[in-house]
Structure 1
C-alpha cells in the first residue's frame, strides 16, 4: 500500500512538473514565441500576438517595436504573411535592418547630421552618406520598448530615451500603440513628450509584399499615391529643398500603375539618384486621416493595402538595397525589390528646411502621429 501511494505521489509530482512548464504554441504565421525571448541591455524581449474577430493576426516584438508578421486572407481565403522579417530575435539583433520597426527619434535623413536649436548647432551621428538616418546607428529600432498588452487587439509600447541619446537633446518618453481593428486595419498611434526642445519624427518601417511570397519581386504591385508633388533628392539621397510636380514624370502615381513600370528608367535623374524609388511624396490629404493617402495591391493574391495618415508626407521605398545576402522568415532570401515600404512622416531634413512643416517638440507639448494600414481583398 505504501509503495502504491509512493508511486502515485511520484506520478503526481511528475505530472504537475510537466504541466508547469510554459506551453509553446506557434503563431498562425508559424513563429515560435520562445525564439523571441532574450535580454538586450538587461531588458526582456518577447513576441506579442494581436488577433481580431475576423481571424487576422499581427505579431510584434518589443525589440525596436517591430511588426514581425501580418497574416491576412487572400482572394482565395488563404492566410498570407505580407511583411518581411525574421524568425527569431537573434537575427533582428545581429543582422542590421529596419524590418517592421518603430523608427525614432527622427525617421529618414538629416543633412550632415546637423540641427540647430535656439542658435546651438548639434552634431548627430552620420551613418548614411554623411547624413543621420533613422535616428543614427543606435536608433530606436535597436532599443527595447516596455510592453503593455492592453487586450487581445491592442499593444502599448513605451520607450524612455535619455537626454543625449544619439546626441539628440531632451529626455523623451515615446509611446507606440498598435490596435488591430475588426475591419482588418492596423491603427498605429505615436506620442512623445520631452523636457528640452528637440526634434521628433516617428514612423513604421514595414516592408510589404502583398503576394505573401517575398521570393517574388513586388514590382508587379499596383500603387496609387494621393500626391501631386514630391521632394527631389541629390545623389546622397538628401532632399534638395525643392517641392516639384509629379506630372509627366515617373514619380506620378495619381493614376495607379505597377511599381515596375518606370522604376528602371535611370534616364530620369531622380530614379538614378534614389536607386529606384526612395523619395518623399507631399500628400494632398492635408492631415485628414479619413482620406486614402496611398493604395497598394497585389494582382497575384488580390490583397489590398490602403494607407491613411495625419502626416504631411510618405516615403516610398522599394527595397532597393536588398541584395540577396539576407534570408528572412522560412529561409526565404530577400532580393532587390522584394518589398514596398510606405513610411508616413514629416519630410526628410525638415529641421534644416525652415519653410517645411516643423518637427520641433517643446517641453509641455505632446507629439502626435497616426498611421493606419487597412487590408482587404480586391473585389
Structure 2
C-alpha cells in the first residue's frame, strides 16, 4: 500500500503452477503517481466515476465541482482523493488509511473523514471504505485497481451477474435508463472473452451482497479473481486510455455514475450522507486458479 492516494501498489498471487506474480498494474516511483491520470490502484472520491457538468443539487442547493473529463467531474475532480496523502495505521491482517477533507474542498459540501481498510486473509482481500460528515453531502468511494492476471486483456474472460447496465452518451454520462443487457455486447452473464470489446460502463448488479458479482479469469496463467460487493454497480474499464493501452482491466464496485443528479434512482439515498450517519462499502476479491 501507498499512503499517496491510498493506493494498492502490489498484490502477489500464485498462478496454476504455484509461481508467484503481481496481478496489479503499478507505476515505478512517486513522480509517476503524481502525474498519473488513470487512477492506478487509488482510492477515488469524494464521488467515484462522473458527475455531469460538475454540478449537482442537494437539499435545494446547487454545488459545483471542477471538471476534468470532457466537461464533467471524474472521480472527485482534479485534486481528488487519489492525489492526497492519507495517514496509515496497522490493523489485524492489513492497514487502515484515513483522510480528512474540509468542507468546500473541490466544491463538495461538508467536512468529510474517509477511511480505506485493506486486509488479507488466505485467498481473500477485503476492501472496506467508510465516511462520516459534519453536514449533508454526497459520497461514493471505490478502489481503482487495474488487474493484470498474466495474459493479454483481450484473452481474459469476464462474467458479471447483471441483467441491466447503464447506457451512456459520448461523455460517458448515463442517459438515465437501466437498460437490459440481453441482445447487446454488454451481456456477460456467462463467461465471455473480452476480445476487442471496449468497456467503460457500469453494470447494474442483480443481487449485491448475495455472492460473487463478477469473475475475471486468465487462461494463460490460470489465475481467477471473484469479486463480491454490497455496492449496486460495477464499472468495468478495459484500460484503453492507459499509457500502454489494455494492459490492465479495472473492476470498480461503486454507486452508479452521476447518481447525485438522479434522485429517481432507487440507490440515490445510499449516496447521500448526513451528520450522525456512517457511510460504508465492502468489496472482496477472492483469488483462485483454474486447472
TM-score range, shorter chain: over 0.9
Query: Structure 2: where are the runs of 5+ without partners?
Result: none
2:103 aligned residue (163, 168, 174): 163
Count of aligned pairs between the two proteins: 288
Return the alpha-carbon distance in structure 2 between the equivalents of residues 133 and 306 of structure 1: 26
Aligned 1:167-186 pairs, distance under 5 A: 167-182=107-122, 184-186=123-125
Write out the 4+ residue segments of structure 1 that deviate beyond 6 Å after TM superposition. none
Bigger Rg, which one = 1
Shift of 1:97: 3.1
Query: What does 1:133-148 align with in structure 2 at a 5 Å threshold?
Result: 133-148=74-89
Distance 2:125 2:29 in 1: 22
Q: Which one of the candidate residues 116, 126, 140 is aligned to 1:187?
A: 126
Structure 1 residue 238: Cα displacement: 0.7
TM-score under structure 1 normalisation? 0.74
Residue 255 of structure 2 corresponds to 346
Instruction: Please provide the CA RMSD for this pair.
Output: 1.1
- Cα deviation for residue 364 of structure 1 reads 0.8
Residue 280 of structure 1 is matched in structure 2 by 202
Matched, 1:132 2:132: no
The alpha carbon displacement at 1:141 in A equals 0.4
After TM superposition, give the deviation of residue 84 of structure 1 in Å: 0.5
What corresponds to 1:247 in structure 2?
A: 182
Residue 31 (structure 2) aligned to one of 90, 109, 112: 90
Aligned counterparts of 1:283 and 1:78: Cα–Cα separation in 2: 33
Q: Which has the higher contact order (CA 8 A, sep 6+)?
A: 2
Alpha-carbon deviations, 1:221-267, whole Å to 9, x = none? Answer: 0010000010000011111101111101110001111111x51xxxx
Counterpart in 2 of 1:374?
286
Q: Which deviations, in whole Å up to 9, do the C-alpha atoms of 1:342-378 show, x marking residues without a partner?
A: 1001100011111221211111110010111111111
Name the one with the larger helix percent. Answer: 1
1:163: Cα distance to partner?
0.5
Q: Give the alignment of 1:1-379 within 5 angstroms.
A: 60-151=1-92, 153-182=93-122, 184-211=123-150, 217-260=152-195, 263=197, 276-285=198-207, 287-288=208-209, 290-322=210-242, 326=243, 335-356=244-265, 357-358=267-268, 359-379=271-291
Q: 1:217·1:336 contact (CA, 8 Å) conserved in 2?
A: no
1:177-235 deviations in whole A, cap 9, x for unaligned?
A: 001012x2110011100001100001010000111xxxx63110001000001000001
Q: Structure 2-normalised TM-score?
A: 0.96
The answer for unaligned runs of 5 or more in structure 1 is: 1-59, 264-275, 327-334
